[in-house]
Structure 1
Amino acid sequence: MTHSSIASVANDQSVDALIKTIRIPPRPSMLIDVQAELASQEPDPKRLAATIANDVALAASLLKLTNSSFFGLRLKASSVEHAVNLLGMRQSGMLMTGIIARQTVKVDNMSLVKFWDFSAKRAQAMAHLASRMHICSPDLAHTFGLFCDIGIPILMERFEGYQTTLELASQQFEHKFTSIEQERHSTSHTSIGALMARTWGLPEDVSTAILVHHDYNVLNDSTTPETVRSLIALALVAEYSIHKYHGEETLAEWEKGGTQACDFLGLGNDELEDRFEELHDLFNRVH
């Protein structure tokens, strides 16, 4: 499956009349400003810090994350500029994208605490695995970990019965997760999530991986970009590790794609268990 064919799948799956009734949050101006600074010819940490500091709530969230046990920094950030210098511009931008997403994507009739906690854990786990296995950029892995299921709260807001759809799809050990969504709602969280990722200016590999991350056949498809396959495989390992951390040994998605993910990543049983142990230690430190 090539880039062009993947893009056409997104277009085929997204029925125009339906899409118009689904609210895709526009890219916030703060995110536009942060991305513009990072993409400039000479990115300046002082300018980036000044942009972030314009929003008191976002600035406070960045400081809180910077000083959390996840980063384990020897020094504590005393200001936004100090935080940007300690973390570096790329990681600061990555964290800001996640913070902004959490503040932007809200559903009135649903508590998103568990959704965002799971997304944060997955992002942290993927960044850790990517840095240890040198398979893709940890920043890219973290971004995908945060955004791969971003279509779920959007569809939750649009469809009253979507919670039931989620429960049905998560129990499917044979049929693809998204086929249940398509059958019940004529769209899927992957299509909507990929659309939002493009709207928000996220990297193309991230939006592509969001679109196909429940199609584990792509892990064996050499025409699919390697970074896309890496993100999908890492996400599956990360998600299964989270379930095991919470004492849940069975995960339908792992049964459908776990073997392909491990084969792609070159993980044998012993090394996989070692990775799970590392991630559980990480979760214990952070939470």
Structure 2
Amino acid sequence: MAAPLDMTQVEKSLEGFTIPPRPDLLIQLQKELEKPEPNSRFIGQLISKDMGIAGFAIKVVNTPFFGLKRKIESIEHACMFLGPERVFKLVRSILLRYEFSSAENDPFLNTLWQTSEKIADACMAISHFFGFDFIDEIYSIGMFHDAGIALVCQQVDNYPEILKSAYEQDELTISEYEENAFASSHEILGFLIAQSWGLSHEISTVIAYHHSCQTILATGNYTEKQMFSVLKLAEHMVGNGKLLAGAVSDLEWEKYNEQIMDILEIEYFQLFDIGEMLYGFGLDNAYHK
């Protein structure tokens, strides 16, 4: 298990920031899922009240990553074929973006969520490639891992410039650079959002250390390391730093790629196979354009 966070530092990082509470829809869905026999029709009706969320969920379910043999046309059908628990996890990830919809006109935040969707899709595809059984969890990591950035942008006006500088230096981790700049980090804030929204301990841990690579690689359990490695590979393939901050180099990958590939048990030449696979799913990447 990864080293526990310093809660004194966590509390300090939270000063000036407000973690968005779990939406009412998630609370209602969780109550239904806790029943001995959850009602898929009722769950479908709850989710379908918001056409934007329902439409997005159906779109994601119909991607090849879920491997369904027939097209899903409603949330109720999705519950029947995937199970209500999997649909709940998917909707939870989608709701995160909608929670910050009031800032949709912000070009940087638009880029943030578009990039998170690409990373989440790439995470699922890569997990399929390796035959990992944490598809739902890795999608949540892809969508939630940079969620703290949305909170930072509410308080730090020049954050895009800070993030670009953080990616371009190699003396500190990105989170350490952020802490020096505004006494918090999107890593810690993302961890707190994940916990508040009921994500699992392993998911929250990966989010908490997704820029503290040395810590999670040294202390994380096997599943945490696998999830972390899939996330970092997805970020590298899709170009997370370039999309978010205009970074020319991927310094984290350059420093930790050997350990990440060891955990995933792949050689360098296989990155091109993964790149071709991602391209087939419509994801441009560093190894196939």
Q: Which amino acid aligns with 1:150?
A: A
Q: How far apart are 1:219 and its partner, in Å?
A: 5.0
Deviations, residues 234-278 of structure 1 (Å, cap 9, x unaligned): 1111011112998x9832221132222112111111222212221
TM-score by length of 1: 0.85
Deviations, residues 111-156 of structure 1 (Å, cap 9, x unaligned): 3222111111111111122233134511111111110111011101
1:137 pairs with one of 121, 134, 139 = 134
2:214 pairs with one of 214, 217, 239 = 217
Q: How far apart are 1:24 and its partner, in Å?
A: 1.4
Counterpart secondary structure, 1:42:
coil
Q: Which amino acid aligns with 2:98?
A: Q
TM-score by length of 2: 0.85
Matches of residues 90-169 of structure 1 in structure 2 within 5 Å? Answer: 90-106=85-101, 108=103, 110-111=106-107, 112-169=109-166
CA distance in 2, matches of 1:208, 1:135: 18
Counterpart secondary structure, 1:207:
helix
1:62 pairs with one of 57, 64, 67 = 57
Q: Determine if contact 1:136/1:227 at 8 Å carries over to the other structure.
A: no
Partner residue in 1 for 2:181: 184
Q: How far apart are 1:185 and its partner, in Å?
A: 0.8
Summarize the Cα distance change of 1:126–1:61 in structure 2 as closer, same or farther, 3 Å threshold. closer
Check if 1:50 corresponds to 2:45.
yes
Deviates more, 1:64-73 or 1:190-199: 64-73
Summarize the Cα distance change of 1:39–1:231 in structure 2 as closer, same or farther, 3 Å threshold. farther
Matches of residues 20-39 of structure 1 in structure 2 within 5 Å? Answer: 20-39=15-34
Q: How far apart are 1:158 and its partner, in Å?
A: 1.1
Q: Which amino acid aligns with 1:85?
A: M
Partner residue in 2 for 1:238: 234
Which stretches in structure 1 are left out of the alignment for 5+ residues?
none
Q: How far apart are 1:284 and its partner, in Å?
A: 4.8
Check if 1:6 corresponds to 2:4.
yes
Summarize the Cα distance change of 1:213–1:40 in structure 2 as closer, same or farther, 3 Å threshold. farther
Partner residue in 1 for 2:287: none
Q: Determine if contact 1:209/1:231 at 8 Å carries over to the other structure.
A: yes
Deviations, residues 77-118 of structure 1 (Å, cap 9, x unaligned): 333312332443343223211221110024637232221111
* RMSD value, Cα: 2.7
Deviations, residues 208-230 of structure 1 (Å, cap 9, x unaligned): 11111112223542x42222211
1:88 pairs with one of 80, 83, 101 = 83
Aligned residue-pair number: 278
Q: Determine if contact 1:106/1:153 at 8 Å carries over to the other structure.
A: no
Deviates more, 1:156-165 or 1:144-153: 156-165
Counterpart secondary structure, 1:213:
coil
Counterpart secondary structure, 1:269:
coil
Partner residue in 2 for 1:255: 254
Summarize the Cα distance change of 1:280–1:173 in structure 2 as closer, same or farther, 3 Å threshold. farther
Summarize the Cα distance change of 1:274–1:119 in structure 2 as closer, same or farther, 3 Å threshold. same
Q: Determine if contact 1:107/1:157 at 8 Å carries over to the other structure.
A: no
Q: Percent identity?
A: 28
Counterpart secondary structure, 1:101:
helix
Summarize the Cα distance change of 1:115–1:74 in structure 2 as closer, same or farther, 3 Å threshold. same
